[in-house]
Structure 1
Amino acid sequence: MWGWIFVFLALALLLYIYFLKRELRKLKHEIKGLPTRSSFGSRLSLDFREKTLLDLLDELNQMIDAFEEKNRQAKQMEENVKLSIAGLSHDLRTPLTSINGYVQLLHAATDETKRSHYLKMIEHSVKRLLEMSDHFYDLARIETNQKEIVLSSISFSNLVEEIFLSFYEQFEEKKIELQFPEQPNERQIIADNLMLIRVIQNIVQNILRYAKSKAFISYRNEENYLVFSVKNDIKPDSKVAVEKVFMRFYTEVASRTNTESSGLGLYLSKKLVEKMNGKMDAELNDNWFILTIHLPINKNQT
């Protein structure tokens, strides 16, 4: 009897080893094929339900998930780089062409009034080039996680008023009326000061380019956030696609002939706000374009 039991156990062990080796060979074959099919969501599988093998399988599939995610991020970054290069080439060409044209006119002009006008236009185009360069530089650093964030407690309403009023002459020139709340919001937020300045500046530039005649600033407290809203009326012939305003390189002019905008301002602003643990939304209500930003409140404020 003991002999038969020994034979049975020996056969069971041999079968176990056979199936184990078969599954390991299958697993080895599937692992070799991973580089060619892993991007299609393939996963390793086994027919032999043995706990140790299943644990190994789970670990390997987690590695595959991580590899695919890294691969997806790398491809996305590659696409972003291609798109950035294409956008950069297009957007820089317009002010560069403008500068070249005005330089030629400047050389040919003898009238001082005309020369002064051409110089002013050249200065304007150079300023746009510098602004675009800053946008592209910030965007590249954000999307490669190289832009460091330094969070601190900031009096947001004071900063907003300071930046908006620094553009007072431009608002006067464009005949855009600004309206601030009668009582400023005294709540402080947690944010990166430099990033916040860039966001507000981009919002100001957006108003200067697209507002018809009015812009209203308001604040409200909402749970753990200070909500900052800016709304401006839009020109009658405006064709704002509100669902696209945060897309990279989107401009109101579909043909992208708008020399005043690279289409990166709001896209970059949204990225910066999200990096500061906030959120940024846009909506179109009748002839009003409304931007809303949620920024975390400093709970330790006294």
Structure 2
Amino acid sequence: MLNVTILVIIALGYVLTRLYFLKKEIKRATRQLNDLNKNITDKKVDIRFFDRDIEKLAKEINNQIDLTKKAKAEKSLTENELKQAISYISHDIRTPMTSILGYMQLLESDEITPEIRKEYTSIVKNSAGRLKVLLEDFFELSIIEQADYPVKIEVIKLNHLIVEVLVGFYEEFNKGNLEPTITIPDHDIIITADPSAVKRVIENLVVNAIRHSSGHVTIRLEKLNTSVQLTISNSVTQLSEQDLHHIFDRFYKADQTRIGKGTGLGLPIAKSLMGKMNGNLTAELIENQLFMKCEWKY
């Protein structure tokens, strides 16, 4: 009977001791979380008392801390991008609006000649057109970036679609005194994607190449071992590696002094559309040549 009593006392002592240290560890973890929440420290929770369940709890708490930090960083980045986007769009809207209002005031004068009036009217129309394109592109990008943006995936003969798009740019190439080098296989190159989205991507990349080429544009379609790749490249003179890092950012223009050279939304729209189709769009600068590569896996 005495032995039983001793064993009970030992067992009770063990339980109470373990309970004491567990409670002490919980209090310590609580203090650490409190310091973390008050930004006194950014250290994650650590434990000193060995217990499998406490270890699991501490691990899950630290995982949640990591997720919270990541969410805060993403929120901060999104807020900064939104502020930057608002700043850019405000600037790009203000420029044509100022022009429109200024020339509208001049058109109210009875002293200007019919020729001058016609010239001013043309300037107002051009400014209004730029404003319309900017707002349409901004609205389109905001729609594309929504999680539930619909894409209709189907089988596409990509070589035929590219030729169809390029025919529509015949006059644009002529105006820019550009004779593009086009390499497209005669046999069918098949991908699964959204035809209208693919067409929009190609159009945006070709427009970008024409606007910013310093003299040469190359369009090449090829079937690789595991993918189909469309490369649209153009010669450049003022693009740097730093510019390349931001080339798909909203409103980014490598040369901010070039007014009227587009909204700066064409490439972000193309990038977003490729992502929606599980494709990929990348940019590479080799010497003085910018390569835009669209890739569809198969």
Contact 2:159 2:184 in 1 (8 A): no
Contact 2:281 2:294 in 1 (8 A): yes
Does the alignment pair 1:194 with 2:201? no
2:291 aligns with 290
2:161 aligns with 159
Counterparts of 1:1-302 in structure 2, within 5 Å, are 1-37=3-39, 42-108=43-109, 109-112=112-115, 114-143=116-145, 145-181=147-183, 183-184=185-186, 186-234=188-236, 238-245=237-244, 246-248=247-249, 249-253=251-255, 255-297=256-298
Distance 1:194 1:43, change over 3 A: farther
How far 1:256 moved relative to its partner? 4.0
Question: What percentage of aligned pairs have identical amino acids?
Answer: 26
Distance 1:242 1:121 in 2: 36
Contact 1:135 1:265 in 2 (8 A): yes
Secondary structure in 1 matching 2:216: strand
* Unpaired segments ≥5 residues, structure 1: 298-302
How far 1:203 moved relative to its partner? 1.2
TM-score (norm 1): 0.83
**1:78-127 CA distance string (max 9 Å, x none):** 11211110111112222222333443444454234x44444333333223
Distance 1:177 1:80, change over 3 A: same
Contact 1:153 1:190 in 2 (8 A): yes
TM-score (norm 2): 0.84
Distance 1:184 1:282 in 2: 26
What amino acid does structure 2 have at the position aligned with 1:291? M
Q: Compare 8-17 and 27-36 and name the one that shifted more.
A: 27-36
Distance 1:37 1:191 in 2: 48
Contact 1:95 1:259 in 2 (8 A): no
Distance 2:242 2:194 in 1: 27
Aligned length: 291
